[in-house]
A and B are shown apart, each in its own frame.
Chain A
């Protein structure tokens, strides 16, 4: 049975009087692509930044068996992190940034970096200050993946990437995961979780509101009801006893009735709005 790569226990972080995250606990198993879902400001980045030792926090975070705070230097050898902003030193060239990231790790990543640059179509001769957000993201992907870490931590990785590059990016993740890498994917794009993740944690207003397998969390008794009754069309998510629904509709002149399973987007939106 796979061990836990990430163990977060009762993580709390406040920024003065402002809420960061409160009492967050979850685990990520080895070899998982774990979705970390939530709207903007839910506390996803705060959780990730605490995991990587960028923030002080209360609670316990263990990554790859080591304490996130005291083991920062050792841990980062085995983590590939892609921040949401993907900012680099503007005066440097892409090749210099990629080489710097490899050299600080004391690893020759030239072959892997070359392959990644080819797949992602990264022009290494360009200067960082000439790059768009999407191109900076691609450089960030190369920096995060070139040393073949045991854990990827991606914070909203696909914003700014074109759809083709998004596909390539997820292909790469799946290839590395097959080789044993674990991936924490923070996103607010529901389809990414649906298409690529086995497990998911959902954050809202600094708290973890749900955590489990994508299949479990998307299993619901809710139904989308589209009905035209007495000449009036209604479209709503129905949660409750089906007999009551039928009873409600029975006295009406029904000209159209569709009862379907809700989409994954609707289910997750239900978590956000709860």
Chain B
């Protein structure tokens, strides 16, 4: 199991480094731009907070972007939310299908290991990748904040990063279940799933009629402005998320262990 875990982790390592360094660098650049934008920030903050539903959707009505906390939640929150969701979806969408797409399944499954164990190891390696993604990008962001030398609530930052990790685990599990049904890598579909979740969360936040549906999407777990304001995420969001994760993982196991392996 350990050997296979290491093997699977190595397979994902290059992609993990590219994505985490890219998203981390983008986030770092956003943080470093904060001071150069400080002078214009107050006027911008006032304008942004008076844009009605859009201000609500991006949290700018409750958290002004004139402060580092508000700026971080709005700017880095968007970059990290979309970037990490896309990475989770891409990695998970090809997690199972890549063996058939690359014709390596016959080699892998000719080794003395059950398909159930392979699926378990792959999901474990995927989640480990997501944890490392959070750590690497977190180091980039916190380095930027440290460079600025401004006060920053690290407890809220940690809460935000853990919430995004949970969100990414949910996106990944849904995409792993999708991966069990296909025989080709469908990275485009994975990206589509991540973006669908992101924009459906946004739409639900813009439209007052759809607000009750926010909790159904993974992005409800990790809204940066709500976390940095200090609002608690609805308990129903966690319950729905847990149910979806369990359902997705069970689907992946049941489908993949019963399907015919493509040559």
Is B230's beta carbon under 8 Å from chain A? no
User: Is B260 a contact of A104 with CB atoms below 8 Å?
Assistant: no
Report A106 CB to chain B, min CB distance, Å. Answer: 8
A76's partner among B14, B111, B261, B263 (CB-CB below 8 A) is: B111
Q: Which of A75, A79, A89 lies in contact with B11, CB distance below 8 A?
A: A89
> CB of B147 within 8 A of chain A?
no
Which of B107, B113, B114 has a CB less than 8 Å from the CB of A88? B107
Query: Looking at the complex, which one of A15, A52, A74, A91 makes contact with B110 (CB distance below 8 Å)?
Result: A52
Q: Does A49 contact B (CB under 8 A)?
A: yes
Chain B positions 91 through 108: 1 when the CB is less than 8 Å from some CB of chain A, otherwise 0: 000000000001111110
Count A-B contacts at CB 8 Å.
Answer: 70
The answer to whether the Cβ of A143 comes within 8 Å of any Cβ in the partner chain is yes
Stretch among A53-61, A225-233, A237-245, A251-259 lining the B interface: A53-61
Asked if residues B106 and A87 are in contact (CB atoms below 8 Å), the reply is yes
Residues of A participating in the B interface, judged by any CB pair closer than 8 Å: 15, 45, 49, 52-56, 72-77, 79, 81, 83-85, 87-91, 97, 100-101, 103-105, 140, 143
Contacts from B to A (Cβ < 8 Å): 3-4, 7, 11, 14, 102-107, 109-115, 117, 258, 260-261, 263
Do the beta carbons of B106 and A85 come within 8 Å of each other? yes
Give Cα distance in the complex from A70 to B11, angstroms: 29
Looking across the interface, which residue of chain B has its beta carbon closest to that of A15? B260
A54 engages B4 (CB within 8 Å): no
Q: Are A77 and B107 in contact (CB under 8 A)?
A: no
Verify A56–B258 contact, CB threshold 8 A.
yes
- List, in ascending order, chain A residues with CB within 8 A of B14's CB: 91
**A98–B112 alpha-carbon span in the complex (Å):** 14
Complex Cα spacing A15 to B111, Å: 25
Q: Which of B103, B113, B260 contacts A56 (CB 8 A)?
A: B260
Chain B residues with Cβ below 8 Å from A74 are: 112
Q: Which of A73, A81, A87, A97 contacts B113 (CB 8 A)?
A: A73
| Set of chain B residues within 8 Å of A100, measured between Cβ atoms | 3, 7
Q: Is the CB of A101 within 8 A of B260?
A: no
B107 surroundings in chain A (CB, below 8 A):
83, 87-88, 97, 101, 140, 143
What's the least CB distance linking A17 to chain B, in Å?
Answer: 15
Contact A105/B260 with A85-B106, A87-B107, A89-B11 known, Cβ cut-off 8 Å: no
B112 touches A89 (CB 8 A): no
